[in-house]
Amino acid sequence: MNKKSFWKNDGVQSFIMSLVCIIIGLLIGFIALLIINPAGAFSAIGAVIKNFFNYSSSGARIKYFGNTLVQTAPLIMCSLSVLFAYKVGLFNIGVAGQYVAGACACLYAALAWNWNWFFCMLFAVAAGALLGAVSGILKAYRNVNEVISGIMLNWIALYTTNMLLSNVKEVASPYTYKLAQKGQAAILPQLGLDNIFNKNKYVGIALLIAIASAVIVWVILSKTKFGYELKATGFNKNAAKYAGMAEKKNIIVSLAISGMLAGLGASLLFQTGFEEWSCTQSSVPAMGFNGIAAAFLGGLNPIGTLFSSYFIQHITSGGAHVDKTMYSAQTSDLISAIIVYLCGFVGFFKYLMNKIVSGKKDKMVKEDVKEKAKKEAKEEVKEEASPVQDADIVEPEEGESTVFEENEALEETEGLENEEGGER
Amino acid sequence: MLILIQYTVLFASILLLVALGGCFSEHSGVINLGLEGEMVMGALGGALTMKFLPDGTPAVVMVLTVMAVSLLVGMLYSSLLAFAAINLKADQTIVGTAMNMLGTALATVMVKAINISESVDNVSSEIEYVDQKKNLIVNIGKFEFSWFMLVAVIALVVSYIVLYKTRFGLRLIACGEHPQAADSVGINVYKMRWAGVLISGMLGGLGGICYITSGVSSWKFEYGVAGFGFLSLAVMIFGQWKPHRIALAALLFGLLRALSNVYAGFDFLVSLNIPSGVYNMLPYIISLAVLAFTSKNSHAPKAEGIPYDKGQR
């Protein structure tokens, strides 16, 4: 009994699925390397996985570990943004644009107006929220699909940002001024964390903010009435309206919060001074789309996101260490793209897994239920039979419903297991 | 002025081809966000063909082979979407996004591998096709006519006829509007959706090779196709999923794109002092506005984005 409930635990399943996706992704990446040049494929895939362990001195290792973490923080925020929207039934593909808007706001405030870091950050959050809210308003009042409006807004944000930040860029290069020179007040405080990472000046408060955000998102979504209302609206707009929730407001608020997270993510990267904005970039930065990857790889769990984001950033940074005389750094992009592709049918895998795990048990449970029905315990049977079906037959196309009921379904399954155990 | 017309027609051809591709896929009921990736892969196939065809190849043979390879590669690549979205009932938005990431990554890795194998010092993701490109173009006076313009027009006519005048097209549309009803009269929904996605892959691939040969004679595959797949999606929406309207939308958006490239050549445009970014973003703003005002009675296929499950009522 216990074993069965372990394998049917949604968290366990998500974890296994993510591992399967990662392994298949690495395997295909390895095959690609083999095809390109069999001689160095092993050491190349090793280099990708090792990332900062490729450095021999421990000082360099810890420093580059810090660099990977610096880039992980914005990725965590972007994937939280995607996750938050997805949990409330919206697909926020506009995360990339909201991230861009955040970058625009914090860099402009820092370089043109010399704002303090905290206000730059708030400004970035506001910019992201604004863009998210536009998507939300279009969806709530004009019935425009948030995926389409998100895509359009991504490009609008990109071109606007390129134009605005051209005012604060170096004359000779397409990059914006370095924060260290023109906007020192905007650099995020290090809180002494830089010393832990061998004086890596980029490491600081950003990582803590990202982790705290993950916890906050988790609390909001699973522990508050506010989160419950948002989820209910995403699950069935009309039902939510009928239950007295302001369904239009909830859609807008959901996307605005999602945008806030993405905007904050941009501020966490650009305000460390780790990177400058290139005003000639012709496509939306990959960060937002990697956020989609990390969110799904993390099993759509805020805490899982922390690890999946780190993993994606880890192999992305690791790609720089492959032998450049044979392979290219984009090998790791290839691997993460394959992982996202596989994440697309996690629902199907789970369905298969549930079938395999619960194949025999299902029949027994159903027979039990039938027998009980004969013994006149009709009400009880109804109450118990429906959760059995809900939990066991997870149909992949009902992705939203499974997500929505994730926590509840989990509790129900466990509760059910205990009840049955008692009866036998 | 001529250069403006030329670029407008050229960009419009690209947008038309890819948007028609999207149109087929969406009419069958599958949202194709992976158009960008399909373009990149088609472009890769075409560019490699140009690179590896022997020098003396007759122009006709070369043009036809390049087009055929792009078409085929785009189609093969789109089967990734079809398999995931139709057979495994995956979330089409996630898979589409993954296809875009995968397309650029795969193309970059492949091109770099080829470049490195030719010379260890060449670590760029660039393919050059200066001489080969000349075969794709016929000079009519000062106007550089590209064969892709003709292909785009043919694609438009054929698409219109196929979608509205043939049994296949009408069945395809039925699968996107109400797959259960289509199934009940004996149409194989899975097959029709596969057909829709594969056609979109073909047209996407063609659009891709057309894009990387427009105006430039070499392409860095790291850049993907710089958002043209998404712009085509905007064209399709602005065209309300109808081929003839898509053609008009493609012309308008093509004009805006062309303006952003060549506005420096016109005194009155320079005097307006509008940055090129504005021309670049106008198409997206226009589509958003159109969506905002028309989506209450949208012409989008009703069942698009919903995986079809035969077992469901």
Q: Give the count of domains, chain A.
A: 2
Whether chain B has a CB inside 8 Å of the CB on A46: the answer is no
The answer to whether position A157 is within a domain reads: yes
Q: Phi, psi at residue A265, to the nearest 5°? A: -55, -45
pLDDT of residue A387: 45
Minimum distance, in Å, between the CA of residue A24 and any CA atom of chain B: 15
| CATH number, domain with residue B59 | 1.10.3470
Out of A75-89, A287-301, A355-369, least confident range: A355-369
Residue A65 has pLDDT above 70, yes or no: yes
Count of alpha carbons within 13 angstroms of residue B103, beta-carbon side: 38
| CATH number, domain with residue A134 | 1.10.3470
pTM over 0.90: no
Tell me the average confidence (pLDDT) per consecutive run of 10 residues in chain B, 313 residues long.
Answer: 88 94 93 92 93 83 92 94 90 88 91 85 82 80 84 94 94 91 90 94 94 85 85 88 92 88 76 81 87 76 81 66
pLDDT of residue A264: 95
Q: Where in the sequence is the domain holding A370, given as residue range(s)?
A: 347-423
Structure token digits, residue A19:
């591992």
In this structure, are A215 and A150 located in the same domain? yes
A vs B: CB pairs below 8 A:
168
The answer to whether position A29 is within a domain reads: no
Residue A408 has pLDDT above 60, yes or no: no
ipTM comes to 0.87
Mutation target to probe the A interface, by most A beta carbons within 10 A, among B26, B101, B295 is: B101
Higher pLDDT, A12 or B173: B173
In this structure, are A286 and A358 located in the same domain? no
Residue A2 to residue A417: CA distance in whole angstroms? 8
| Lookup result for tokens 């064969």 | B147
Q: Where in the sequence is the domain holding B53, given as residue range(s)?
A: 2-297
Structure token digits, residue B170:
């009408």
Give the residue-averaged pLDDT of A335-357: 81
Whether chain B has a CB inside 8 Å of the CB on A156: the answer is yes
Q: A250, A285, A309: which is the final residue of a domain?
A: A309
Whether chain B has a CB inside 8 Å of the CB on A280: the answer is no
Residue A337 to residue A359: CA distance in whole angstroms? 33
The answer to whether position A331 is within a domain reads: no
Mutation target to probe the A interface, by most A beta carbons within 10 A, among B32, B89, B287 is: B89
Contacts of B293 in chain A (CB under 8 A): 142
Residue B226 to residue B222: CA distance in whole angstroms? 10
In this structure, are A370 and A275 located in the same domain? no
The answer to whether position A355 is within a domain reads: yes
In this structure, are A135 and A82 located in the same domain? yes
Using CA coordinates, name the residue in chain B closest to A136: B292
Higher pLDDT, A414 or A291: A291
Partner-chain contact B91 A347, CB within 8 Å: yes
Higher pLDDT, A203 or A124: A124
User: Which uninterrupted H or E stretch holds B137?
Assistant: strand B137-140
In this structure, are A109 and A233 located in the same domain? yes
In this structure, are A211 and A285 located in the same domain? yes
Minimum distance, in Å, between the CA of residue B289 and any CA atom of chain A: 10
Partner-chain contact A284 B99, CB within 8 Å: no
Contacts of B101 in chain A (CB under 8 A): 286, 289, 293, 333, 336-337, 340
Residue B126 DSSP one-character state: E
Higher pLDDT, B79 or A36: B79
Whether chain B has a CB inside 8 Å of the CB on A253: the answer is no
Contact A278, A174 (CB under 8 A): yes
User: Given A152, A327, A333, which is nearest B288 (Cβ)?
Assistant: A152
The letter for the amino acid at B19 is A
- Among A249, A414, A342, smallest CA distance to A28 is for A342
In this structure, are A156 and A220 located in the same domain? yes
Partner-chain contact B84 A345, CB within 8 Å: yes
| A249-307 confidence digits (pLDDT tens) | 989 999 999 999 999 999 999 998 888 898 888 888 888 888 988 998 888 889 999 99
Q: Give the count of domains, chain B.
A: 1
Residues 111-150 in A contacting B (C-alpha not used; CB under 8 Å): 138, 142-145, 147-149
Q: How confident is the model at residue A398 (pLDDT cuts 50, 70, 90)?
A: very low
Residue A207 to residue A181: CA distance in whole angstroms? 23
Higher pLDDT, A144 or A362: A144
Whether chain B has a CB inside 8 Å of the CB on A287: the answer is no
The answer to whether position A218 is within a domain reads: yes
Contacts of A333 in chain B (CB under 8 A): 101, 104-105, 108-109
Q: Which residues is B29 bridged to in the sheet?
A: none
User: Given B31, B277, B295, which is nearest A162 (Cβ)?
Assistant: B277
How many other β-carbons are positioned within 10 Å of the β-carbon of residue B313?
4
The answer to whether position B68 is within a domain reads: yes
The answer to whether position A351 is within a domain reads: yes
In this structure, are A291 and A410 located in the same domain? no
Q: What is the pLDDT of chain A when averaged over all its residues? A: 81
Give the residue-averaged pLDDT of A217-228: 92
The answer to whether position A290 is within a domain reads: yes
